[in-house]
């Protein structure tokens, strides 16, 4: 049985009343319930833990998240691309030049750029981005890294103490992932992104692995993925649909723009999966979708639908056409293939 928010309380009448009053006076009616739970959690933590380290971690993480939400909230309707890559790439390296070109061409098309804020490929991303069209999510390290000088607006630099809060914002606030050659950090970020979309913990997005002409970085990586992960059954063949290896900025941009050509966004509502579209698909395409992707449904069929009740209540893209289905929440590689078919309509 689903827990009702009012069931989550301290159990001390005086404190619970104080929390209710504080929540009611600090936010909208829609978010009051959630703020009450946040305040209750904070008090529970204080009562249950005497460990200064525990409290410090929660405090610092919450402050980092709050500030990040504040910085990004005015730009939520603008599509953003996160650029991952080595901090050690030289300014004259092929990957540096490719990242700079990629960022420039994307911001010319209305996108915004997000980087880790450091040197190398990250610097190239900020350098290539049009003024005011980039963010830098810097990590505080004892030996590296200092924010690069190519961030036009200093209020778009966010300094993080923790990798986990920084990585959360990387994913939450962006719509596209571009990975350039890099070290452990780049591979960590790339594999985590793939894991999140493979498991449905992140909404579908284009993931481009950018390999400059003459480089074999992602080609060798792909050989490992096929020979070790795929052959040993650690991933499915359809999981290879989750990303694309590209060698030019134009090829990457074409893939990104094609991904959002018809497909707009995804929403999970009361057991249904809702695909919101920039325009309606043809009857022929809908028929083909039901034939080709029946095996990713738990029941029923893929159907045209008006906005769901929850979407109407929240005013979510009410003018967009929709497809709904009972997706099995398992075959996300196949879902990517389906999005590709929709975009070719």
* pLDDT digit string, tens, across residues 84-95: 999 999 999 999
- Is the distance from CB of 316 to CB of 307 less than 8 angstroms? yes
Domain spans, the chain: 5-73, 77-259, 263-343
Predicted pLDDT of residue 146: 74
Note the pLDDT of residue 5. 56
Phi, psi of 83, rounded to the nearest 5 degrees: -105, 120
Residues 183-211: tens digit of each pLDDT: 999 999 999 999 999 999 999 999 999 99
**Which CATH fold would you assign to the domain 77-259?**
Rossmann fold (3.40.50)
Give the CA distances from residue 65 to residues 68, 169, 185, in Å, rounded to whole numbers and listed in that order. 5, 8, 21
Q: How many Å apart are CA 82 and CA 105, to the nearest integer?
A: 14
Helix axes 249-259, 94-108, angle to 10 degrees: 40
Round to whole Å and give the CA distance between 132 and 329: 38
Q: Which residues of the chain have pLDDT under 50?
A: 1-3
């Amino acid at each position: 049985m689903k827990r009702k928010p009012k069931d989550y309380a301290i159990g001390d009448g005086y404190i619970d009343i104080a929390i209710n009053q504080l929540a009611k006076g600090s936010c909208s009616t829609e978010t009051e319930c959630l703020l009450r739970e946040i305040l209750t959690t904070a008090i529970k933590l204080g009562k249950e833990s005497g460990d200064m380290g525990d409290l410090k971690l929660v405090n610092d993480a919450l402050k980092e998240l709050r500030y990040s939400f504040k910085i990004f909230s005015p730009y939520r309707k603008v599509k953003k691309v996160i650029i991952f890559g080595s901090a050690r790439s030289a300014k004259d390296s092929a990957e540096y030049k490719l990242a700079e070109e990629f960022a420039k061409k994307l911001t010319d098309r209305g996108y915004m750029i997000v980087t880790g804020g450091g040197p190398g490929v990250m610097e190239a991303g900020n350098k290539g981005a049009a003024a005011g069209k980039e963010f830098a999510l810097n990590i505080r390290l004892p030996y590296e890294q200092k924010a690069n000088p190519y961030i036009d607006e200093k209020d778009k630099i966010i300094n993080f103490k923790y990798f986990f809060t920084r990585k959360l914002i990387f994913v939450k606030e962006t719509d596209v992932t571009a990975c350039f050659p890099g070290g452990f950090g780049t591979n960590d970020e790339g594999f985590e992104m793939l894991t999140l979309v493979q498991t449905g913990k992140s909404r579908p997005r284009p993931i481009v692995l950018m390999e400059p002409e003459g480089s074999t970085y992602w080609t060798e990586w792909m050989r490992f993925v096929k020979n070790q992960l795929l052959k040993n059954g650690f991933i499915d063949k359809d999981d290879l649909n989750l990303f694309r290896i590209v060698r030019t900025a134009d090829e990457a941009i074409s893939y990104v723009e094609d991904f959002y050509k018809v497909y707009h966004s995804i929403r999970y509502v009361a057991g249904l999966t809702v695909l919101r579209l920039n325009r309606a698909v043809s009857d022929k395409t809908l028929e083909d979708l039901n034939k080709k992707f029946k095996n990713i449904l738990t029941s029923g069929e893929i159907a045209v639908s008006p906005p769901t009740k929850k979407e109407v209540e929240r005013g979510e893209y009410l003018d967009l056409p929709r497809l709904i289905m009972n997706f099995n929440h398992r075959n996300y590689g196949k879902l990517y293939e389906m999005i590709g078919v929709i975009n070719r309509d």
